[in-house]
């Protein structure tokens, strides 16, 4: 479902250098993303290397799945791999289980990489919406990925997060049919967005469809026009920049952990 990039949002909670609060360590709402960029001439060799790496993971019984996504718009020579949701503590076990395959990746895949980035993403339940009867764990064929970078300062952050929570609450109350999931980006380094919003799509026809009703009309129906306008203004003024692209699910490059 196509939703305007200024409509569905997520925001960064300023993250202290001391790390994650202990209370969050066992909550299974964390994802890890790796995004690779390859040269056009190296695509076939790179994909063969990923398949060989996945075979190594299978041989060692790695218990964590990695869902592969090809970038359909933006830089189309990018591939993203997502693991989760897991608890922070699970990344220790993941590191141990995958370590025997490190050399397979370095020798087979690294020669074909132009670059690789990684970040953690924490799902924000109160800034997300899943229609009744939906399955947020189902893997869609296409996803609309929206990046948000906020303006500096506490005021912008509070305005943004407050607006997003109200939008999600309105979507829940009104039974809005358009799902969205919000992720806070952590440890993404310079240039990483503060938040990522993911909109699932069954096919390209759904990508091109407008939400019904449009997001701000839905919000207006819940809070009234004056409050909806104020909310939209507050959200817009808190955003420094945003961008979006479409990813497609790549089953061949996905590693599926053995079923328990």
Region 145-149 average pLDDT: 97
Q: How many CB atoms lie within 10 A of CB 141?
A: 15
Looking at the predicted structure, is the pLDDT value of residue 23 above 60? no
pLDDT, residue 26, reads 86
Looking at the predicted structure, is the pLDDT value of residue 149 above 90? yes
Compute the C-alpha angle 216/155/237, nearest 5°.
40
- pLDDT band for position 5 (cuts 50, 70, 90): very low
Considering only the C-alpha atoms of the chain, give the largest distance between any 2 of them, rounded to a whole number of Å.
59
Region 81-100 average pLDDT: 98
Looking at the predicted structure, is the pLDDT value of residue 158 above 60? yes
pTM for the predicted model, two decimal places:
0.88
Q: Dihedral (C-alpha) 145, 147, 12, 141: value to the nearest 10 degrees?
A: 10
Q: At what angle do helices 154-174 and 215-223 cross, to 10 degrees?
A: 80
Q: What is 22-253's CATH topology?
A: Alpha-Beta Plaits (3.30.70)
Percent of the chain scored above 90 by pLDDT?
Answer: 87
Pick the more confident residue, 133 or 48.
48
Could you tell me the two tokens for 129?
């919406």
pLDDT, residue 3, reads 52
Per-residue model confidence as pLDDT tens digits over 205-230: 999 999 999 999 999 999 999 999 99
Mention every residue, 6+ apart, whose C-beta is less than 8 A from residue 173. Answer: 222
Where are the domains positioned within the chain? 22-253
Percent of the chain scored above 70 by pLDDT?
Answer: 91
Could you tell me the two tokens for 182?
């919000």
Looking at the predicted structure, is the pLDDT value of residue 4 above 80? no
Per-residue model confidence as pLDDT tens digits over 177-207: 999 999 999 999 999 999 999 999 999 999 9
Region 20-24 average pLDDT: 54
Helix (H, G, I), strand (E, B) or coil at 76: coil
């Amino acid at each position: 479902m196509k939703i305007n990039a200024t409509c569905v949002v997520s925001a960064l909670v300023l993250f202290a250098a001391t790390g994650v609060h202990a209370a969050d360590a066992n909550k299974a709402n964390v994802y890890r993303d790796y995004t690779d960029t390859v040269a056009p001439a190296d695509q076939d060799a790179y994909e063969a290397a990923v398949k060989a790496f996945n075979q190594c993971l299978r041989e060692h019984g790695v218990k964590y799945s990695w869902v592969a996504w090809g970038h359909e718009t933006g830089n189309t020579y990018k591939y993203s791999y997502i693991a989760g949701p897991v608890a922070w503590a699970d990344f220790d076990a993941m590191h141990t289980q995958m370590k025997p395959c490190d050399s397979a990746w370095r020798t087979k895949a690294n020669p074909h990489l132009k670059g690789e980035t990684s970040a953690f993403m924490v799902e924000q339940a109160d800034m997300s919406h899943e229609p009744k009867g939906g399955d947020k764990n189902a893997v869609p064929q296409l996803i609309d990925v929206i990046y948000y970078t906020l303006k500096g300062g506490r005021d912008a952050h509070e305005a943004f997060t407050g607006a997003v929570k109200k939008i999600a609450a309105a979507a829940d109350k009104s039974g809005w049919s358009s799902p969205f999931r919000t992720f806070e980006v952590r440890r993404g380094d310079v240039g990483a967005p503060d938040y990522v919003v993911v909109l699932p799509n069954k096919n390209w026809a759904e990508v091109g469809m407008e939400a019904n009703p449009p997001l701000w009309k839905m919000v207006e129906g819940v809070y009234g026009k004056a409050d909806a306008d104020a909310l939209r203004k507050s959200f817009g003024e808190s955003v420094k920049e945003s961008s979006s692209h479409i990813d497609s699910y790549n089953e061949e490059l996905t590693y599926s952990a053995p079923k328990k």
